[in-house]
């Protein structure tokens, strides 16, 4: 039975997107109102603003700005791993409700110039996080280094020994390998203990390196890889183990930054307004490619991947009790989203997609 027949009208808990970029200023005002359009009411917010969020007070002030745009969304806040982060900062952040700390290797993605060069200086910080129950979110790539034959195509694979080393040194530390893009990453997460999980984006369920290379609105980091990697991500998303869940890495950039002509094209794919819907479309395409069968996509697995597994890992509940209803109709992805001085082009613009409707507390 096709998913359009099987799931049209399916009711699920609201989705939780465990990796979002909501920016600040006018871009924030444009993007935050699209969260619920994607069937989401809980978001795990990345801290790579300019300047980055390196204290609880910074993160909470940002949360206030986000809540001014939409107070109905549950914003889970993080800090940016930086030389100013100490065990004392970690303890204070935990006491004030900050959930995790995001690590960016220096220079690998948007606003990562203040990122990590070596992890060893942060071992006391990781120990404090392990003790108090904060989560370490890893952008799992090594920076390009041609002397070591490392590029954006194998940076994730080259990082995996670091993931395994951190897990071995801090076995009780909860670690997320963010936006997995390779079969190797999937296997590495599987091989680690229960405290290590991985997020999977909607767009990496679609893209291969061919798609990534010729469309600025599919240009992202980590880069999309080979077809075998895409299919491994699809299978991991449907594994039902709880080791993998949705983290969209939705990353809006103004059209001017994506068109090129003034330096490098900005890396990031904007999926926020359709993130739940896009996952359904991706599974449909995987069925067409005969990677999976329609029977592999069950309501229970959808509920887990779209929010249940992520909420369980982070220890958060959805007290709102809100539900969404999936619909397979005639909706088309909008060509753009605009704000004051801002225009953002969404992933798969102009193409058909599923729809979501909201229901109140049951």
Strand order in the sheet with 74-76: 15-20, 40-45, 74-76
φ, ψ of residue 59 in degrees (nearest 5): -65, -40
Q: Catalytic site residue 167? A: no
Q: Which of 102, 203, 204, 253 is catalytic?
A: 102
- For residue 14, how many C-alpha atoms fall within 13 Å in the half-sphere facing its CB? 27
Q: Catalytic site residue 258? A: no
DSSP state letters, 263-310: SSPPP----GGGHHHHHHHHHHHHHHTTSS-GGG--HHHHHIIIIIHH
Q: Which of 82, 94, 139, 183 is catalytic?
A: 139
Angstrom distance (rounded) from CA 324 to CA 276: 10
Angstrom distance (rounded) from CA 137 to CA 179: 10
Alpha helices (runs of H) in the chain, residue ranges in sequence order? 3-6, 25-31, 56-69, 87-95, 123-132, 155-169, 183-191, 209-213, 227-237, 255-259, 275-288, 299-303, 309-314
Q: Which of 249, 254, 318, 328 is catalytic?
A: 249
Q: Is 354 buried (19+), middle (13-18) or exposed (0-12) by CB count in 10 A?
A: buried
Q: Catalytic site residue 253? A: no
Q: Catalytic site residue 203? A: no
* Cβ-based neighbours of 223, under 8 Å, separated by 6 or more: 152, 153, 181, 209, 212
Q: Which of 179, 183, 225, 258 is catalytic?
A: 179
Catalytic residue ranges: 19, 21, 102, 139, 179, 249
């Amino acid at each position: 039975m096709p998913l359009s027949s099987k799931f049209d009208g399916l009711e699920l808990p609201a989705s939780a997107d465990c990796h979002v970029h909501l920016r600040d200023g006018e871009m924030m005002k444009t993007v935050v109102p699209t969260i619920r359009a994607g069937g989401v009411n809980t978001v795990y917010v990345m801290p790579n603003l300019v300047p980055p969020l390196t204290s609880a007070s910074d993160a909470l002030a940002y949360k206030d700005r986000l809540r001014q745009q939409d107070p109905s969304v549950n914003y889970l806040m993080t800090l940016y791993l930086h030389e100013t982060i100490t065990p004392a900062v970690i303890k204070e952040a935990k006491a004030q409700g900050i959930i995790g700390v995001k690590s960016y290797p220096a220079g690998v993605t948007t606003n990562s110039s203040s990122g990590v060069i070596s992890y060893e200086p942060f071992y006391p910080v990781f120990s404090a996080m392990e003790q108090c129950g904060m989560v370490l979110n890893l952008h799992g790539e090594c920076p390009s280094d041609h002397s070591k034959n490392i590029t954006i195509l194998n940076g994730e694979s080259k990082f995996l020994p670091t993931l395994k080393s951190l897990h071995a040194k801090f076995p009780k530390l909860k670690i997320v390998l963010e936006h997995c893009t390779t079969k190797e990453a999937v296997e590495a997460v599987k091989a680690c203990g229960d405290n290590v999980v991985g997020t999977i984006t909607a767009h990496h369920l679609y893209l291969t390196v061919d798609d990534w290379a010729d469309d600025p609105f599919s240009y992202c980091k980590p880069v999309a890889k080979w077809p075998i990697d895409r299919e491994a991500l699809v299978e991991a998303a449907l594994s039902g183990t709880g080791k993998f869940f949705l983290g969209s890495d939705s990353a809006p950039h103004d059209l001017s930054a994506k068109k090129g002509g003034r330096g490098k094209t900005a890396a990031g794919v904007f999926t926020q307004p359709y993130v739940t819907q896009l996952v359904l479309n991706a599974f449909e395409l995987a069925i067409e490619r005969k990677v999976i069968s329609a029977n592999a996509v069950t309501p229970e697995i959808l509920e887990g991947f779209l929010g249940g597994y992520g909420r369980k890992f982070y220890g958060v509940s959805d007290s709102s009790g809100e539900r969404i209803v999936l619909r397979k109709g005639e909706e088309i992805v909008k060509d753009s989203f605009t704000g004051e001085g801002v225009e953002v082009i969404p992933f798969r613009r102009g193409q058909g997609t599923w729809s979501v409707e909201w229901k109140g507390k049951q």
